[in-house]
Structure 1
Amino acid sequence: MRRNKQEPELKIISHRGASGHRPEHTLGSYELGARVGGDFMEVDLVATADGALVARHEPEIGGTTDVADHPEFADRRTTRTVDGRDHTGWFAHDFTLDELKTLRATERIPDVRPANAAHDGVYEIPTLQEIIDLARRMSAELGRRIGIYPETKHPAYHSGLGLDLEPPLLAALLDNGLAGPEPELPVFLQSFEGESLRKLADVRLPRVLLMGTEEHWRPLLTPEGLAGVAEYAEAIGPNKDLVIPRDENGELGEATALVADAHEAGLLVHPWTFRSENRFLPADLRSGGGAGDFGGFAAEYGAFFEAGVDGVFTDHSRHAFLAREIYLEGE
């Protein structure tokens, strides 16, 4: 059956925006992701010292901003333990929002994405409110609703600092008419921590439990485990290797039962993260170029679409959009 192309069931989630083409978590990246076919702006949320929610992949911001070039912040460099791992650098929660706004975003992996590095210094660190405003503006301009897909990033860690992420996120959703069963824009709420998702229940929006490949996730990947997840979430966001693993040669293997088991439990499946460069593709889909050159990304999307996923996190929204068009035309 042909799907609704205005708001298709098979979602393209612009991972940190169009982060394959612009520095991640910037308004430029989010806007481009929407323009080239993305359905959602995926946002990792961390807190500032004064409790504002901003978009960064991690609390440590040294790898994605020019903070090291600001001598006035040299004494903020420190080592902190985040979820059991030591990280040295500069942390968003040691800065006020006004201080963070003096910084500019930089490309996180310039060796793979040198073209992105040409945009270093152009974009500020955006707030959640600025991203919501952009989603609303792009929805009006493009004539289709562009949703937001916020993640509470290391929520227990932030809670230990007295900077709970859930209350300001809930307040922003309510203030912007994005709560309840019929929000102005589509919204999914995501976290690796189930307790954080439970704290977000009151806004009655679909919640997504993110899952990695580490051993401690294994009990939740069974039918019984997924049934338990369905008590507080409406979807899972697994590492894509949990859906279609790679074999001993690094090539794309056979699909597991995860999608079918999740659907049986009433859960949608949105795997992460699809990237078009050779460095990230299965060995059998890489081109003859360098690590940053594109390979056979369409075949990878096609395999996951055939496996029955309900959406994909992607750094290359246009590639996912085109692969979805090919797939839907073949249905």
Structure 2
Amino acid sequence: MLRKTLILTSILTLTACNSDDRDNQTHNPTPTPTPPAYVEPEIIIVGHRGASALRPEHTLEAYQKAIEDGADFIEPDLVPTKDGYLVARHENEIGSTTNVSELPQFADRKTTKIIDGVSLTGWFTEDFTLSELKQLKARERIPDIRPQNTQYNDQFLVPTIEEIIELADQHYQKTGKIIGLYIETKHPTYFQDLNLAMEDRLLSSLAKYEYSRSIAPVYLQSFEVKNLQYLRSQLDRLNTLQHAKIIQLYSGQSSQPADALKAGLGTTYGQLASAEGLKTVAQYADGVGPSKTYIVSNQGVITNFVSLAHAQGLKVHPYTLRPENEFLPDRLDCSPNPAEKCETGALAEFEIFFKAGVDGVFTDDPGLGRQAADLFLKQ
């Protein structure tokens, strides 16, 4: 990477200055400052879809709030548009996260599709160009649990991955703080079958920016396996992203990765969570992102998952710690009201996971996560 950079710098200098050897002896170009070395925190706080407990998820405003509240990483989930741009939505079905259902010009786009074996009816990003998606406005996905977020409905746009990288870079330019990018490719096999594969598009977008090439950590995650193995091979071959890592996500133990299901394989996430399964995962991944019950059971029992993963050199970043009673274990609830934000319960849950030895957590409220991590590390 350094050799390529030096060669490119030399070509640009000769082209711009058209100088001879005598000029070069007396007018040396100013060296480009070396970006600071990234040092990962002992426990990372990942703003899950941004600060989605406080702003409609997957908007620049949600990511900005996460950064302001102390997140080390922001997490975009990516899906493609009809013309191949990558945009941030939790799902390619956008009826519940935008105002598309109220726009008459898109009424005929409503349809039913089978996504990874599940029938869904609504509006899908792959049926819209980017310019059409930019006519939509974001909305709160779970208004019954987060009614306060509805005040931001119809104010924010659907962002592209480039806009998200630029947001983090602008914060770095202003403050010097490096914000990592923790990026999920959604439904990769489904989109590959539509000739809208995301992997090379994503790597190309990341390679455009010095920030994502050589300054910030970039974690690439998926619930599938083959696309992560492909991304690993491309990262090793291209060597363009200095701080890129691969994270295998885990859904329910009895369910299967969509690519394994399509291929007729019997592989389950539970098998991938075994000692032998984690050994296989470590051949292509740097870490794992399990749902939180892999680490702490519904009865509050801490499992051996973290120690098994650490034995294979894998980082462990569980999802998702949320502050509302609806999502907390019953024993940590503040009241029967599912929509009530229970800070004491949330802080207690963070501490449980930190004591279990995780290397980071996904959270909808990065401010609480930052507070909990700081308190824990002071102990």
TM-score range, shorter chain: over 0.9
Q: CA deviation at 1:139?
A: 2.0
Larger radius of gyration between Structure 1 and Structure 2: 2
Matched, 1:300 2:349: yes
Give the alignment of 1:1-331 within 5 angstroms: 7-177=40-210, 183-201=214-232, 202-204=234-236, 205-215=244-254, 216-247=268-299, 253-288=300-335, 290-295=337-342, 296-330=345-379
Q: CA deviation at 1:293?
A: 1.1
CA contact (8 A) 1:194 1:232 kept: no
Distance in 1, matches of 2:152 and 2:185, equals 27
**Matching residue's letter, 1:304:** F
**Matching residue's letter, 1:187:** V
**Matching residue's letter, 1:68:** S
> Which deviates further from its counterpart, 291-300 or 157-166?
291-300
Give the secondary-structure state (helix, strand or coil) at the position aligned to 2:77: strand
Q: CA deviation at 1:289?
A: 5.4
| Post-superposition CA distance 1:212-246 (Å, at most 9, x none) | 12312111111111000001100000000001011
Other-structure match for 2:33: none
Other-structure match for 1:250: none
TM-score normalised by L of structure 1: 0.94
Q: Percent identity of the aligned residues? A: 46
Higher RCO (CA 8 Å, separation ≥ 6 residues)? 1
Give the secondary-structure state (helix, strand or coil) at the position aligned to 1:279: coil
Gaps of 5+ in 1: 248-252
Distance in 2, matches of 1:140 and 1:129, equals 16
Distance in 1, matches of 2:117 and 2:210, equals 37
Q: CA deviation at 1:287?
A: 0.3
Deviation >4 Å, runs of 4+: none
RMSD: 1.4
| Post-superposition CA distance 1:152-195 (Å, at most 9, x none) | 10000001111001011010111113667xx2111100001111
Gaps of 5+ in 2: 1-37, 237-243, 255-267
Other-structure match for 2:25: none
| Post-superposition CA distance 1:264-301 (Å, at most 9, x none) | 01100000001000000001100025211122111100
Name the count of aligned residue pairs: 319
More helix by share: 2
Give the secondary-structure state (helix, strand or coil) at the position aligned to 2:210: coil
Distance in 2, matches of 1:142 and 1:8, equals 17
CA contact (8 A) 1:76 1:94 kept: yes
**Matching residue's letter, 2:323:** S
Distance in 2, matches of 1:297 and 1:120, equals 26
